[in-house]
Homo-oligomer: A and B are copies of this chain.
Amino acid sequence: MSENAVQLVVVGSIGIDTIETPFDRRESILGGSASYACATSALFTDVGMVGVVGADFLAEYEALYAQFGINLTGLQKKDGETFRWSGVYKDNMDDRDTLSTELNVLAEFSPTLPAAYRKAPYVFLANIGPDLQQHVIDQIEKPEFVAMDTMDLWINIQRDALIKVIGQVDLLTLNESEARRLSGEHFLPRAAECLLEMGPRYVLIKKGEHGSMLFSKEGIFVLPAFPLNRVVDPTGAGDAFAGGFMGALAAMREVDQDRIRSAMVNGSVVASFAVEAFGLDRLKTLTRDEIDTRAHAFREMMRVPEALTPA
């Protein structure tokens, strides 16, 4: 565990996942939005995790968190079982069915921030109920930059609470279909305009294999995804993207359009590694050198030459 001051606080779910793809299957592996977001952000900065696990949470999972360098002061251990999720990916991993969701200890979770986390300048509210996200915002003293993720479930069943949280953050990230659902607009620039009116300075729409888009008063940034030859497990790709993004941004210690764009490149590259293996497996061995090498190749793939005037 890192001894440095916590630069980024991440709250989210910690889960034990059972995942089936057309090619393979893994039972009871470590997952959840906080696990992916912390494992990736910790590659760039000092991260403190806020989450809850049950008595069944294996010592090896905690050891893995520590190996990533995640500060675990904010990890609560409760009687009962850890949140569990299982799902099946279809065909080419484009769609998935959820087979079961057991909230377990997550149902009663109240995220309490350790004193050392309350002065953290960067906060990432990964996907978890908006009431819990709100509770974290209420405890942070003077954050410089707060970002949040969400999912269709909260848009459907806790819309008002969700919109209230959105009104208090600097950046909202969500996927394409969630942006459409929350805004009621199909075309993304219009959807983003509607979401920006809810309060955040930035709206970052994740499009999976099609990349991501950043919207703000300063304009639009469109980022393709790093092209992949195969995907082993897409679970947590969005959380890995957001975690890599927030970790890189927090490490830059200042937020502006160029730093956000640069952090998005890092997030995209980290997510492209995350899906190469099940769960956190690929992230375990991922190095900053590997990230930088792929980011360099990715930048060359996106290089748009100066406008060449046709003769």
In whole angstroms, what is the CA distance A262 to B207 when docked? 24
A304 touches B311 (CB 8 A): no
Instruction: Tally chain A residues at the interface, Cβ within 8 Å.
Output: 48
Contact in complex: B302, A304 (CB < 8 Å): yes
Q: Which residues of B contact A306 (CB under 8 A)?
A: 262
Contact for A227 among B92, B222, B300, B310, CB less than 8 A: B222
Contact B308 A252 (CB under 8 A): yes
Interface locus among A54-62, A109-117, A145-153, A182-190:
A182-190
Among B186, B252, B304, the residue within 8 A (CB) of A265 is B304
Q: Are A310 and B248 in contact (CB under 8 A)?
A: yes
Task: Kindly state the separation between the CA atoms of A220 and B303 in the bound complex, as whole angstroms.
Answer: 10
A219: chain B residues at CB < 8 Å are 300-301
C-alpha gap A22/B310 in the complex (Å) = 38
Segment 8-42 of A: residues with Cβ below 8 Å from B:
none
A43 to chain B, nearest CB (A): 10
Interface residues of A in 283-307 (CB under 8 A from B): 292, 295-296, 299-307
Does chain B have a CB within 8 A of A163? no
Q: How far is the CB of A291 from chain B (nearest CB, A)?
A: 11
Given A258-B308, A262-B305, A307-B262, A224:B222 Cβ within 8 A: yes
Contact with B along A173-189 (1 / 0, CB 8 A): 00000000000001111
Residues of B within 8 A of A253 (CB): 311
A229 within 8 A of B: yes
27 A-B pairs in the complex with CB atoms less than 8 angstroms apart: A45-B310, A187-B228, A187-B229, A189-B229, A207-B210, A211-B211, A213-B227, A219-B301, A220-B227, A220-B301, A221-B301, A221-B302, A221-B303, A222-B224, A222-B227, A222-B302, A224-B224, A252-B308, A252-B310, A259-B305, A261-B303, A261-B305, A262-B304, A265-B307, A299-B304, A302-B302, A302-B304
